[in-house]
Structure 1
């Protein structure tokens, strides 16, 4: 029974990882070509944060209980984008440093 639950969880994880819009965008940002867009992508945390606050307010007012899940999801996505910005900036600086070092090496002698 444990193996069945683990298999379901793994398939669900891979499905969400592949098709959820924020995960697809973050995967593109973490590629070599997308590293430069990591810091501007931090601005996407603002609408996600506002959506989380709005849904939490509606939940507190007595509307549907599912809004608390939507608020939590929005907050999680905002945090993902907030963390991705500095992380991609550091990765970009590291890649540019390595590319600069490899450009300064003399060509191999034959």
Structure 2
């Protein structure tokens, strides 16, 4: 009875986050065929987020507000998203290039057969 409203709320939250959060927008554009080649360089952005997370923990230990734990959590989450996507993008890019090569080869074979006939 309580699961359905929670499920609906989580679906709406996910749609909102995918539409309006900058890192999600960037990751969606990187998941396209044209964006896959930028997967490994995007890992650099993940490292920047990791450094910001480490800096926020250092500031908290130095006596700053504990509200920086929110910054730490967001930066750590974004760092993991970019670092993992960089690793995942390599096999996805290889698979896309193999498909494109096969399609090009098949097109060349079919056009050569049509000319020969």
TM-score normalised by L of structure 1: 0.88
Partner of 2:18: 17
How far apart are the structure 1 equivalents of 2:42 and 2:26?
9
Corresponding residue of 1:42: 43
Root-mean-square deviation (CA), in Å? 1.8
Distance 1:5 1:89 in 2: 36
* 1:72-95 per-position Cα deviation (integer Å, ceiling 9, x unaligned): 110111111111112111111101
The number of aligned residues is 110
Q: Which runs of 5+ in 2 are unaligned?
A: none
Q: Which portions of structure 1, spanning 4 or more consecutive aligned residues, are displaced by more than 6 angstroms?
A: none
| C-alpha distance after superposition, 1:55-109 (max 9, x if no partner) | 1122223322221121011011111111111211111110101111111122175
- TM-score, length-normalised on structure 2? 0.84
Q: Measure the CA separation in 2 of the matches of 1:7 and 1:85.
A: 31
Aligned partner of 2:58 in structure 1 is 57
Give the corresponding residue for 1:86. Answer: 87
